[in-house]
Amino acid sequence: MRISKLPSSVRQFCTHVLAIALGVMLTVSSLQVLPSQAEPAPTTTASDAPELIAQRQSPANAAIGSSSFVTAAVNRVGTAVVRIDTERTITRRVDPFFEDPLFRRFFGEGLPQQMPSEQLRGLGSGFIIDKSGLVLTNAHVVDKADKVTVRLKDGRTFEGKVQGIDEVTDLAVVKINAGNDLPVAPLGSSNNVQVGDWAIAVGNPLGFDNTVTLGIVSTLKRSSAQVGIIDKRLEFIQTDAAINPGNSGGPLLNGRGEVIGINTAIRPDAMGIGFAIPIDKAKVIATQLQRDGKVAHPYLGVQMLTLTPQLAKQNNTDPNSPIQIPEVNGVLVMRVIPNSPAATAGMRRGDVIVQIDGRPITTAEQLQNIVEDSRLGQTLQVKVQRGNQTQQLSVRTAELQNAS
């Protein structure tokens, strides 16, 4: 029935009810569009903590906005990240078999003494730390290279001169002459990094320039011995951000776009396990490399192993064990390097280092850090357990000449 055919009084009543109903519908419709006052829409201000901004713009929510915190971080540092190409010429000698006099008697003396030279090419990453053109990278990226070429993100290439290399910390500084107004990567502090923080890796993995990967900080202070690089003195930042060959020397960033580490190593038998040198350590080494071209590292001259009473007991109950070891916590001396400070001081294989300068020693990493932080020529008072006796040795540190 249409309203127009109803009596006037009824039509007025129906019209009034319809108006009320439409008003209710419009009000409900409006509540679905406007934000609730009890839960206001999030806003971002300059005073917001970066961690809060990162939380709001996490990967799960990144598609909501026009960009993410990763974009902002990469834009802050991206132009300062460089690609490093290296060339090295090697000449291989003839196999010693062909140099045997008996062989040459039958086949003549016309055989070559050397094989044709071979060009080895390498690829890595780095980042600019000074407007004058100083680039920080890994030592293994540029070590023994005959030619170093640095390519900026804008496509310009420059010949790089290696100013200094430190094999012990796997760091190197390269200089390019490209004016005095180059972009510089903002350096953060690795001391403020916590497990679970965002980790952004930037570099040139496998030749794919300007690649960005995202993960978190998996753990801190992972020793070089645990990583499997026994000739280094480092405590790495471990991350699950994808790192591949070619990433070496590139920056690891936090959520604010600050460099917190230098991507250095991966575990080939694993996925999502990469390692970066903490930037605070790199700052100290880079300064010394700029000034002196090298870094002097003190050493004692022992090969060592963390010892526990359980390990010692296991050794001592083995009838084939060559030596009996004190069943204590400490650092077992596996070998004493000839003519080293430890050898001069009278240290022996099988000694267990339990104290240095009055500080208890329980791990090989702890001992290594104490020695690394000492001065060249400093005399350390080393307490060792030798069988059932305790010995006090005075060991004067010397400069490490070969990391291996």
Domain edges within the chain: 48-295, 298-399
Owner of token pair 């190593």: 265
75-84, 107-116, 315-324, range with greatest mean pLDDT: 75-84
140 is catalytic: yes
16 is catalytic: no
The DSSP result for 362-393, as a single string, is --HHHHHHHHHTSPTT-EEEEEEEETTEEEEE
Per-residue model confidence as pLDDT tens digits over 367-376: 999 999 999 9
Q: Answer yes or no: is pLDDT of 281 > 90.
A: yes
pTM of the entire predicted model = 0.74
Residues 47-53, mean pLDDT to the nearest whole number: 39
Confidence of residue 111 (pLDDT cuts 50, 70, 90): low
* Angle ∠(335,337,338) on CA atoms, nearest 5: 125
Residue 310: its pLDDT value, please? 95
Q: How far apart are CA 69 and CA 72, in angstroms?
A: 5
Out of 125, 190, 224, 248, pick the active-site residue.
248
Pairing label, strands 352-356, 274-278: unpaired
Q: Are 176 and 131 spatial neighbours (Cβ–Cβ below 8 Å)? A: no
Owner of token pair 């069943």: 327
Q: Does domain 298-399 have CATH number 2.30.42.10?
A: yes
Q: Closest Cα partner for 170 from 281, 52, 306, 270?
A: 281
Residue 374: its pLDDT value, please? 94
Confidence of residue 113 (pLDDT cuts 50, 70, 90): low
Residue 133: its pLDDT value, please? 95
Partners of residue 164 on adjacent β-strands: 173
Average pLDDT, the chain: 82
Partners of residue 187 on adjacent β-strands: 259
Per-residue model confidence as pLDDT tens digits over 197-251: 999 999 999 989 999 999 999 999 998 888 888 888 899 999 999 999 999 999 9
Read off the tokens for 46: 């300059």
Residue 179: its pLDDT value, please? 84
Residue 21: its pLDDT value, please? 39
170 is catalytic: yes
Out of 170, 218, 223, 351, pick the active-site residue.
170
Q: Are 215 and 272 spatial neighbours (Cβ–Cβ below 8 Å)? A: yes
Read off the tokens for 283: 């700052």
Where does 48-295 sit in CATH, by number? Answer: 2.40.10.120
Per-residue model confidence as pLDDT tens digits over 241-269: 999 999 999 999 999 999 999 999 998 88
Provide the 10 A C-beta neighbour count for residue 8.
7
Owner of token pair 């993995």: 205
- Residues in CB range of 287: below 8 A, 6 or more apart: none
Out of 140, 223, 224, 351, pick the active-site residue.
140
Per-residue model confidence as pLDDT tens digits over 352-402: 999 999 999 999 999 999 999 999 999 999 999 999 999 999 999 999 986
* Angle ∠(114,117,121) on CA atoms, nearest 5: 150
Residues 9-19, mean pLDDT to the nearest whole number: 44
Q: How far apart are CA 389 and CA 159, in angstroms?
A: 60
Q: Answer yes or no: is pLDDT of 16 > 60.
A: no
Residue 236: its pLDDT value, please? 96
- Tell me the C-alpha to C-alpha distance, in Å, between residue 386 and each of 112, 349, 364, 382, 390: 56, 9, 17, 12, 6
Residue 38: its pLDDT value, please? 36
**Ordered alpha helix ranges (H), 248-400:** 279-292, 309-316, 341-345, 364-372
Which range is least confidently modeled, 100-104, 269-273, 336-340?
100-104
How many helices (H) and strands (E) would you count in the chain? 10, 20
CA 106 centroid distance within chain = 56
Higher pLDDT: 321 or 25? It is 321
Higher pLDDT: 350 or 10? It is 350
Q: How far apart are CA 355 and CA 219, in angstroms?
A: 28
